[in-house]
């Protein structure tokens, strides 16, 4: 049995979970689209949460593609992670003009998870299968930021709606 195939159940679970969460968050966001698009911090959170969940799904799907050994999987992971890092960096640059330090620290935490995962992919590229454990740790740690970010987004939108109703 190949090293990658022994991770099949993990990536099925994580990929399926991220796809389900992407759908739920997307629906919740569409119900509050005006509030989200009108606030730079909310836009940042929405963009990075959807990007994050979608990218976890894509990475899981790429790992599950048949017939691959460690190097192609590692290169696919690195490529997707690099795109996500670019989106996260671009997004926080836009949001920081009106964001508090909490948004910056959460974004730095998300970056750290992505870099951890990327380090695992580099280890994997050089033939060390234990890099998949580092990839898994980074991926699961990212979920903490994505799920709590979704909660903060919805709480922030709710506060905006309550304030608008009082006016």
Dump pLDDT digits (tens) for 145-157: 999 999 999 999 9
> Which segments of the chain have a pLDDT < 50?
none
With a CB cutoff of 8 Å and minimum separation 6, the contacts of 51 are 84, 87, 88
Residue 83, pLDDT score:
96
What is the residue extent of each domain of the chain?
5-166
Closest listed residue to residue 142, CA positions, set 6, 49, 38: 49
Distance CA 103, CA 92 (A): 8
Which helix H or strand E contains 87, and what residues bound it?
Answer: helix 70-95
Closest listed residue to residue 44, CA positions, set 159, 156, 164, 158: 156
Please give the model's pTM, rounded to 2 decimal places. 0.90
């Amino acid at each position: 049995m190949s090293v990658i195939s022994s991770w099949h159940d993990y990536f099925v679970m994580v990929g399926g979970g991220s796809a389900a969460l992407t759908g739920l968050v997307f629906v919740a966001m569409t119900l509050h689209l005006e509030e989200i698009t009108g606030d730079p911090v909310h836009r940042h959170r929405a963009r990075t949460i959807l990007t994050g969940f979608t990218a976890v799904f894509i990475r899981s799907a790429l790992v599950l593609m048949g017939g691959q050994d460690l190097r192609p999987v590692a290169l696919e992971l690195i490529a997707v992670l690099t795109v996500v890092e670019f989106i996260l960096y671009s997004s926080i640059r836009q949001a920081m003009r009106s964001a508090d330090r909490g948004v910056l620290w959460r974004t730095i935490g998300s970056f750290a998870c992505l870099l951890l995962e990327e380090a695992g992919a580099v280890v994997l590229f050089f033939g060390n299968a234990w890099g998949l454990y580092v990839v898994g740790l980074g991926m699961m740690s990212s979920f903490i930021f994505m799920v709590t970010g979704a909660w903060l987004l919805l709480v922030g939108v709710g506060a905006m709606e309550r304030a608008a109703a009082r006016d």
